Amino acid sequence: MPPYPQPAGPEPTDGTPPSVMPVSVRVAAITMGVLAALLLVNAGLLWYGFDVTVDRVVRQGTGITAAEARRFVLLALIPYLVIGLILALAAWFLPRRQPWARWIGLAASFVLALLTLFSMIAAGGVTVSALLLFVLCAAAATSLIARTTGGWVPRLRSRD
């Protein structure tokens, strides 16, 4: 027994992943969970008020029929619903060390960031909600590509 205690390092030196969840994994799981909640609540509210939204699009648009407005609202709802579900799954399974959750979460965060960026460009300005989504996507993506996350989550494929 050594005369003085040796501090435990943040990562084991024998090549095995650390047993304690790194901060980057926690940040990634929390930000993906918040993104998923925001997207799913938005999709749920849009679905709940579907007819009201369609009527508003018809009233505010010039020469837009009700069928076109329904299609427009559905095309706005479906991508965010799908991305929200994917982010919820990734946020749930990343702390359980599922390697696919890291990559699916990274892809969904990247796609959502691109959609948010394109919507900001199309709208001609930045809204608070768009900025919040973009910042959360950036936080999730940087946490997912962090070295500590890669060391904690096993590889997707083993190199044999």
The closest of 53, 56, 113 to 83, measured between CA atoms, is: 113
pLDDT in tens, 104-130: 999 999 999 999 999 899 889 999 999
The closest of 20, 24, 23 to 11, measured between CA atoms, is: 20
The closest of 136, 111, 155 to 27, measured between CA atoms, is: 136
pTM, two decimals, is 0.81
Over its C-alpha atoms, the chain yields an Rg (Å, rounded) of 21
pLDDT in tens, 5-55: 554 445 444 556 567 899 999 999 999 999 999 999 999 999 999 999 899
- Token pair for 74: 């559905």
Helix (H) or strand (E) holding 109: helix 99-123
Distance in angstroms (rounded) separating the CA atoms of residues 67 and 28? 40
For the chain, the structural domain boundaries read: 23-150
